[in-house]
Amino acid sequence: MCSFARPRRATREDCCGHLTRAPVLHSATSEFPLKKSRPEQACGALIVAPRGRIRFISRVATHYLKEHFGPRPDRHRLPEPLASWARTTPNTPFCLSKNGRIVFVHLIDRSRKGAQCFLLEERVIEESNLTPQELLVLSWVRKGKSTEQIAAIVGRKVGTVKKHLTRIYEKLGVENRTAAAFYADRFFTAEE
């Protein structure tokens, strides 16, 4: 029997429906805080069709794209740097820093038909959040120095440097020195 039904298109539910049912999201368009202690952090959602056309974009994602890429002539397509990253099979997040703000774009899901669901997250690293000693320690972590080497360079005890690192992790919302160095690399590069 012959059927003239058009092929089913990838929908928001196909691409990242499991995210909308997750307890942290209230709806597909909702904005949610990553940590209640840092209300300036929010995530945005973005669904892109196989040919690069934006099928769905949340208000937060729209804000991040405008802020980091400026006004675009075709608002229904991804900015070119982001589009070229999305065409590859992204295992690592796309990062762009501007004025001490870093936007991370994570590929959350890819449908069988090629639609992609992205999560956009912005992190703010402000100098006022870190003490001068913590900024100094963070700059040496960025350069790949061990805790003992940093203690020798800064002229502090190893325990003091470890305490600085613990506070840095808390303030940046990261779990280890590799992630802290990653954020520091983006922040210091933007400031230089």
pLDDT reported for residue 14: 45
Do 104 and 145 lie in a common domain?
Answer: no
Phi, psi of 37 (to 5 degrees): -75, -15
Among 70, 93, 124, the domain boundary falls at: 124
Closest-CA residue to 155 (of 137, 131, 130, 178): 137
Same domain, 23 and 117: yes
Inside any domain, residue 1: no
Clarify whether residues 135 and 119 are in a common domain.
Answer: no
Q: Which amino acid is at 16?
A: C
Residue 130, classed as helix, strand or coil, is coil
Contact present, 97 and 186 (Cβ < 8 Å):
yes
Query: Considering the domain boundaries, does residue 24 fall inside one?
Result: yes
Give me the domain span that covers residue 187.
Answer: 127-191
Judgement on whether residues 96 and 138 belong to the same structural domain of the protein? no
* Inside any domain, residue 181: yes
Residue 125, pLDDT score: 61
Q: What is the pLDDT along the chain (192 residues), one digit of tens a residue?
A: 444 444 444 444 444 444 433 333 333 333 333 333 344 457 899 999 988 889 999 999 998 888 888 887 677 888 888 888 888 867 777 877 776 677 888 888 888 788 899 998 887 665 557 888 888 898 899 888 999 999 998 889 999 999 999 999 888 878 888 888 887 776 665 444
Residue 82 counted as domain residue: yes
Unique residue bearing structure tokens 């691409």:
15
The model's pTM: 0.52
Q: What are phi and psi of 94, to 5 degrees?
A: -80, 135
Predicted pLDDT of residue 56: 92
Contact 65, 79 (CB under 8 A): yes
Structure tokens at 69: 């890429």
Domain tally, the chain: 2
